[in-house]
Amino acid sequence: MQRQPLLDARFFKTEAGTEPVRDWLRTLSATDRKTIGEDIKTVQFGWPLGMPLVDHLGSDIWEVRSKLESRIARTLFATEGSTMILLHSFIKKQQKTPKPDLEL
C-alpha cells in the first residue's frame, strides 16, 4: 500500500496567471530542480517538520531549506488546511532571509 502525502503541494498563482515558484524552478538545472523537489516531497510526507529542513519565519510563512551543489535555495510556503502553497523561491546569498523576500 502506497503512503499518501499529508500535504498537497500547490503553486501560488498570481492574478496575471503566472506561477512564480514553477517559473523559477524552470530556470534551474535538472539536478537542482530534483533536489528542491525531493525536499518539498519530504515536507509533504513528513509534515510537520522542523530544522534543518524546515524553518518557521513568522506569521504563516515557512521555508524549505535546500542545499544545492554550490549554493543554498529557499522555498517559502504557507499551509491552508492540508495544502502546502508554494509562494516564492530564491537562491540565498546572505545569512538572514532578505526582508523583501519575506514581505513578498
* Each residue's pLDDT tens digit, 29-41: 999 999 999 999 9
Residue with cell 496567471: 17
For domain 8-94, the CATH architecture is 2-Layer Sandwich (3.30)
Instruction: Name, in order, each residue with C-beta under 8 angstroms of 17's C-beta and a sequence gap of 6 or more.
Output: none
Average pLDDT for 1-19: 93
C-alpha cell at 6: 499529508
Structural contact between residues 89 and 75, judged by C-beta atoms closer than 8 angstroms? yes
Q: What is the pLDDT of residue 92?
A: 85
pTM, full prediction = 0.87
DSSP 67-102: E-SSSEEEEEEEEETTEEEEEEEEEE-SSSPPHHHH
Indicate the average pLDDT of the chain: 92
Give phi and psi for 4, each to the nearest 5: -95, 145
